[in-house]
Structure 1
């Protein structure tokens, strides 16, 4: 089981432990909000005392997809919109692995929208960080699912005729058990929220507002922002679905009116994760499947050995 010895190992962890030697300096555009996601993730893992060998980062395609190139851990650069199913499989095979999935707003809410809904519904135990800059950045400025109505782009030169998606509300109605929004311009809050999302037992969705100064100058830098947990005007119970839904709707409406509200919106504790449900139903073994196949003495099983034949 040597491949798994690092999990649970207690040692001092520093932020630079997560800086890769091959590509230590991120090459996003100057002023890009993606730098803040990388910084928040490094800080959160350091605070949690995680080793790089205990972490897997699965990304999709886009500017956000470079995250695991600049973050030293296990990483999988998947297909467009497919970070979540790959991350789910990894977590089910090795529940002790700390799994983080990441993608852009086009990657996560558009191309991978079906995976987003069902991963939330099933409450898979992982953090999902969506870099939301309201534009397709890597492909140079096309309208995305979160682009505001009327926004002009290469694909919508006369302005988008569609209302933007409401990612927080979608996460809640789909079944996510932790929902938050933060912004690149609020690094302290960003690190705290990413840390909470990683610690949360269940599917934690973080809508991370990341400005794109190159291809979406309309969004500017999402300032000024308001931390709803630090403002007496926004008093609601984050454990109450109805109150959370109302707060999310107001927040998503306010964003396109120039008011940026960030913070924790919903948290559900005590609900079993998908892996726990499967083990409780006897559909999965208690010991991680991944460990079995790193044991030289273990006799491999095939699916037909694990399932009863249909009568």
Structure 2
């Protein structure tokens, strides 16, 4: 392991070979045939390659579930965390070493259920990282239970008479929470998916990507999320993604449409001028200009211990 210095985002970077993000000894993927998770993996590799990253510059933090296996099939620094806990780990890593490009990933149960509180507050604080949520409207790894995004009336092992709950609205939740980049894409639209992930990774702040990933094994109701419509390419939709009110109204329509059988994807909100949490804390002097992670590689570094901060309370 080596320290990754703060990169110059203004420097010209040549694309790298995306195959560098395939592990040298490639593990056999255990996702089911036809699973949308393959689309996330392909889009993420392509995005990192197009942006000129190398595996040593990237940290991928995953949660639990089918989506949690992503870090096993993606060559970079990786951390397979607990259910719903990918975001606090990703936040800490980015604050300690802002030179890393940090990506967190989890499923809809992981991100919008048990990890929902972390999701809201990571968005509120605008941490500089990308959060990909594999949204298949089901708990897949545990064999088909109703999830936070399952539509009302959806029947499953845990809701045999149909869910009585309205589903979570992921895009609206991200916007209300405070995310500064919000988008939705789908595994069946690989070109759009790769471009949206590139934008999310380049964004300086919290970028949330709701990634529709079909589950042909446990959620046949969702089919393949086709046909889909790219709202930026359609003449039927005209809204300003930098206007919070217009974005909110559009997100509400998009989330209604999904459960009416119409899949609308694209970029829905972007606030490029909002400072990230790390930038705010460095400006206040609460974080050192030199990354904390650098101290691990400097034998002469002056370490501050937590017990030194507690002296006043003894």
SS at match of 2:173: helix
| Deviation per residue, 1:45-99 (Å, 9 max, x gap) | 0001001000000000000000000000000000000000000000000011000
1:153 matched to 2:156: yes
How does 1:2-41 map onto structure 2 within 5 Å? 2-4=2-4, 13-41=16-44
- 1:186 matched residue in structure 2: 189
Q: How many Å apart are 1:130 and its aligned residue?
A: 0.1
- 2:174 matched residue in structure 1: 171
How does 1:285-304 map onto structure 2 within 5 Å? 285-304=288-307
In the alignment, structure 1 segments of 5+ residues that lack a partner are: none
Give the Cα separation in 2 of the matches to 1:279 and 1:26.
Answer: 41
SS at match of 2:297: coil
1:237 matched to 2:260: no
How does 1:102-251 map onto structure 2 within 5 Å? 102-251=105-254
| Deviation per residue, 1:248-290 (Å, 9 max, x gap) | 0000000000000000000001111111111111111111000
* Alignment coverage as a number of residue pairs: 311
Judged with a 3 Å threshold, the aligned counterparts in structure 2 of structure 1 residues 85 and 180 are, in CA distance, closer, same or farther, namely same
Preserved CA contact (<8 Å) 2:130 2:201: yes
Give the Cα separation in 1 of the matches to 2:5 and 2:207.
Answer: 27
Give the Cα separation in 2 of the matches to 1:138 and 1:127.
Answer: 23
User: If the length of structure 1 is used for normalisation, what is the TM-score?
Assistant: 0.96
- 2:267 matched residue in structure 1: 264
SS at match of 1:287: coil
User: If the length of structure 2 is used for normalisation, what is the TM-score?
Assistant: 0.95
Q: How many Å apart are 1:191 and its aligned residue?
A: 0.1
Give the Cα separation in 2 of the matches to 1:274 and 1:84.
Answer: 14
Note the aligned Cα RMSD (angstroms).
Answer: 1.9
Preserved CA contact (<8 Å) 2:15 2:51: no
| Deviation per residue, 1:165-221 (Å, 9 max, x gap) | 000000000000000000000000000000100000000000000000000000000
- 2:100 matched residue in structure 1: 97
- 1:86 matched residue in structure 2: 89
In the alignment, structure 2 segments of 5+ residues that lack a partner are: none
Give the Cα separation in 1 of the matches to 2:241 and 2:20.
Answer: 34
